[in-house]
Structure 1
Amino acid sequence: MNPDAVRTAERVPHGGETDRDVLDFSANTNPSSPDSVDRVYTEALERSRRYPDDDYSAFRAAAGEFVDCEAERVIPTPGGLAAIRLAMETTLETGDEALVPYPSFGEYAREVELQGASPRFVPHDELFDVDDGTLEACALAVLCTPNNPTGEAADPDAVADFARRCERADTVLLVDEAFLGFTELPSAVRLESERVIVARSLTKLFGLPGLRAGFAVASSERRDALETARRAWSLGTPAAAVGAHCLRDDAFVRETRDRVDAERDRMRAALESRFDVFPSDAPYLLCDVGERAVEDVIDAARDDGVAIRDATTFRGLDSHVRVAVKDRAANDRLLAALGVLEDDDDD
């Protein structure tokens, strides 16, 4: 990390509501968690009187099975963002450039800058079309799939083609799959390229954002660099135990995917009566509120006890809000707060 960059860097705004009396649709987390999480956490908390086993063999095995790769390729991290930082710390040098999509997760540009490098912004839907010269000029390219906040997932074949281009350009491709677990799409870990690093977050899919558990996946010397650079005891004992438990709960994952798919379609149909809504493969929907003031839409929802995300903090967006997809009862409260809830004759 570059000391001079740290002195000039700023924090990035995020969703997340601290008022427990407000229904939080500003953060894209699952409202449910797998069964027995409390028991697993409690048992692990007792074991926390000693340092964790720094090998994290059970966590690595569960993560490897979840994304379909060898356990030894998994690098445990305290959340997906920690995996992103680790990838950038081991890739970027002062003066480098990194290809950063927009609108997308604001931490990419911040993490690039903290390394003393410079982000080269490209529209997220034009990332795969950048010319070879641009790609060769960048030490790193970032792909977010599904993209946050727009919600669409990249075609796996297109990702593979872009990864091959990155390899020829000697550019590292960082694929952020924080929300890919909500889909049936395969992970980019299948590419097994030394130029590809995958970052995964557990806590969104499993509804435990405060637990801070995630991992990176890489191959060959890239994997060795990440493993050497990661902090010792990078996961607390409870996070490692609960994370491994959640990753093995296939039934929970299937149920979550089915619910999110059905509710997202229902919510989009309702929201389109008032807003322009982006297509999405993710547990959130980006809405263009048009000529309405974003602040007025957010304030009106909050008056009804619902927090939604101000998406104008994302580069390139100026009239947008983002809403999460939760369970049916919570989603109905959101739709009512936004004035788009219609009566359902089946209820």
Structure 2
Amino acid sequence: MHWPSHGANPQLLLQQWKLDENEKNYIDFSVNTNPYGPPPGLTEHLQLHMDKCYSYPDHDSKKLTAALASAYRIRESHILVGNGASQLIYLLAQLFRGQSIGVFEPTFSEYREACIANGCTVYSLPVDDKHDWELRQVNYINWLDKLDVLFLCHPNNPTGKVYNPLILKNLIQQCEQKGVWLVIDEAFHDFVEEGAFFTPEISSYSKVILLRSLTKMYAIPGMRLGYLVAPEPIVDKLHQLQPTWSLNGLAQEAGLYCLEEQAYRKTCSTSIQANKQKVFSYLREMGYEPETSYTNFFLLQDPYHHDTEELFRFLLENGLIVRHTYNFHPLNGRYIRIAVRREEENSLLLDALQRWKQVCLP
């Protein structure tokens, strides 16, 4: 079975399973962007700036960089805007070509794939469900002498885990002492109401690189819009590697608009968290045990089977697309990842899981 590498590929998935993509309206729980869509007025705003399509964009994204610097109290020289966080991950892998890379796993597969494509040796630093996906010093302390770079997703994808700030501080300090670059991907930080995030104090560290996304919360993945915060020499080197005009004019305009929509961001985050608590409550009543998550998605095991392929297929046949975990090493399909959507859509998922329970029970 060839599983798609990412979520949010409903057509590819349906073709793979030989299901009619026109037969019913599928609800995509595999995509982990804001279910409420872009901020009100964004479409109209972009329509007013369609002239941006007819000239070359600012290849340095100066206005957007300045807006990010102002919003997060960072110097502009420490920011690099990119064509999605994925481009920035591949630029980092290119910069660190051939080096020894550590990746806390399970996590986003792109770190590993990008580094392998650039001739790096990649080591897995497992964080397991036996300890509730907690990051502990034992997970990294004996590895740092062997590594040049360490990737950490926080909040983590796919577990939704937010790590203990004391442990994170210790990890940063250890990396600083050992001369190991620590890349922290905070693509989902907007969905967390409370947590330890380091953007304002990034300038006090010499070996920390932050990745951020503007497409998750603002539901504009087609715009491909992310940014990186790092020491100025790293930003300069990455900028030299980055293709000219990586960010088109409309994407830059969308970023400027979204940064002004902080009230929308907070409203959506609060609503999603409330919806998640309702989903968790119903799941537990039905006998399921969702994994604790602090963001807009969570892991779920099939309580009736070790592998989730049958449950995955059942949900797909009922018009519900969830995210498989066969390429999240070392999960290997033991969980499905489910995004939190609007209340009425979540209810359809819960109904389907109740029917699955009835199918499985004797």
Instruction: Give the TM-score, by structure 2 length.
Output: 0.85
- In the alignment, is residue 43 of structure 1 matched against residue 48 of structure 2? yes
- Structure 1 residues 12 and 68: CA distance shift in structure 2, 3 A: farther
Query: Which residue among 106, 112, 117 is the counterpart of 1:103?
Result: 106
Task: Give the 3-state SS of the residue equivalent to 2:151 in structure 1.
Answer: strand
Determine if the alignment matches structure 1 residue 161 to structure 2 residue 170: yes
Give distance in 1, aligned partners of 2:221 and 2:155: 18
Aligned to 2:143, the other structure's residue is in SS state helix
Q: Equivalent residue for 2:6?
A: 14
Structure 1 stretches lacking a partner, 5+ long: 1-9, 342-347
Matched, 1:233 2:245: yes
Residue type of the alignment partner of 1:187: F
Q: 1:326 aligns with which of 331, 336, 341?
A: 341
> Residue 202 of structure 2: which of 172, 191, 203 is its match?
191
Greater CA deviation, 140-149 or 175-184? 175-184
Residue type of the alignment partner of 1:314: F
**What is the letter of the counterpart of residue 246 of structure 2?**
S
| Aligned-pair CA distance for 1:88 | 2.2
3-state SS in 1 of match to 2:81: strand
Kindly indicate whether residue 326 of structure 2 is the aligned counterpart of residue 312 of structure 1. Answer: yes
Tell me what 2:15 maps to. Answer: none
Q: Which digits, 9 at most, give the CA deviation of each residue in 1:233-292, with x for residues without a partner?
A: 121111111012112201111111101111111111222333221110110010011342
Q: Which residue of 1 aligns with 2:276?
A: 264
Deviation at 1:195, TM superposition (A): 0.9
Contact 1:194/1:221 (8 A) holds in 2: no
* Superposed structure 1 runs of 4+ greater than 6 Å apart: none
Deviation at 1:12, TM superposition (A): 6.8
CA distance, structure 1, for counterparts of residue 206 and residue 154 of structure 2: 19
Aligned letter for 1:116?
G
Deviations 1:123-155 (A, max 9, x none): 134464345552121110011011111111123
User: Structure 1-normalised TM-score?
Assistant: 0.88
CA distance in 2, matches of 1:45, 1:35: 18
Match for 1:322: what amino acid?
R
Determine which of 54, 58, 64 is the counterpart of 1:53: 58
2:91 corresponds, among 86, 99, 103, to: 86
1:128–1:11 Cα change, 3 Å: farther
Distance 2:202 2:164 in 1: 14
- The alignment-based identity, stated in percent, is 26
Cα separation, partners in 2 of 1:87 and 1:156, compared to 1, 3 Å: farther
Contact kept, 8 Å, 2:82 with 2:246, in 1: the verdict is yes
SS at match of 1:260: helix
Residue 336, structure 1, aligned to residue 351, structure 2: yes
Distance 1:322 1:24, change over 3 A: same
Change (3 A) 1:127 1:111: farther
Give the structure 2 partner of residue 242 of structure 1. Answer: 254
- Paired with 1:278 and 1:11, the residues of 2 have a C-alpha distance of 23
Letter in 1 for 2:350: L
Show CA shifts across 1:68-91 (max 9, x none): 42233220101111121222222x
